[in-house]
Amino acid sequence: VFFLWSGTDTVFSGLLRAAGAPMGYLVWRGLQRIDLEGLRRILRPTALIALPLYVAGLAGIRGIVGGASPDAEKIRVILEQLNWLPFYYDFAASSIRAVASVGAVLVQYGILGVLLALVLGRRHAPFLIVCLSILIAMSLQIAALLLAGLRPDPSNPILAAMGALTGAAVVPWFFKAMAAHMEEVNRARPRQAAPATARATP
C-alpha cells in the first residue's frame, strides 16, 4: 500500500515507502503470535454487527438512500424498457466501464460473502451463502426501483452469488493457511534446552 502511494511530494512519498518494510515485518510477527480460536471468537460478533451496516452501505452505494420516490407510471416505464438479458448493460457499455462495473459488484459482494461466512461460522454452506447473497442483491435491486426509480440490473444477483462464494471461500482458507504457517513456525523454532537433572554424587 505504501509502495503504491505516489505523489508530487518526493520526500513524503519516500518516507511512506520506507515505512512499509518495518510495518510489514511487524504485521508478520503479529500474525505469528495470533490465537486463531480467539480471533475466530472475536471476528464472529464483529461481523454480526458489521453485516447490517455493510448492507446499508451497499444501499447507499446503489443510490437507494436519499433518492426521489418514483410514481407508478415511472416504474412501469422502467420495467417496460428493462432488458432482462444478464450482462446486457455491461456489454452495451465501453469495455473499460464494463470491466470496472463487474469488478466493483464482485468486490462489494465478495466482502459480503466474508461477513456471511464469519457470521455463520463453521456451519456455513455454499448453497446458503448463494441464497443469502442473491436475496440481498435482489432486495437491493427492488428497493432501488421502488424507492429511487433506478433501473435494476439482472446481472447483479449472478455477480452477487459469484462474489459471495469467492469471499466466503477466503475465510476457511485464511484460517487453514494461518494454522499451517504457525505449525511450521513452531517446528522451526529451536527447542529450549531442558534443565539438566542433578546428578547424585557417588
pTM > 0.75? no
What's the confidence (pLDDT) of residue 51?
A: 94
What CA–CA distances, in Å, run from 152 to 75, 158, 169, 190?
11, 13, 28, 60
Helix orientation angle between 155-188 and 126-148, rounded to the nearest 10 degrees: 140
Among all chains, which residue has been given the C-alpha cell 499451517? 180
Burial 163-182 (b: 16+ CB within 10 A, else e): bbbebbbebeeebeeeeeeb
pLDDT of residue 176: 87
Check residue 5 and give its pLDDT.
53
> Grid coordinates in use for 53?
451496516
Q: What are the CA-CA distances from residue 149 to residues 110, 134, 152 (Å)?
A: 26, 21, 9
Per-run averaged pLDDT (10 residues), the chain, 202 residues: 55 74 81 77 91 92 74 84 74 69 90 94 85 94 84 88 94 86 74 47 49
- Tell me, rounded to whole angstroms, the distance of Cα 77 from its chain centroid: 35
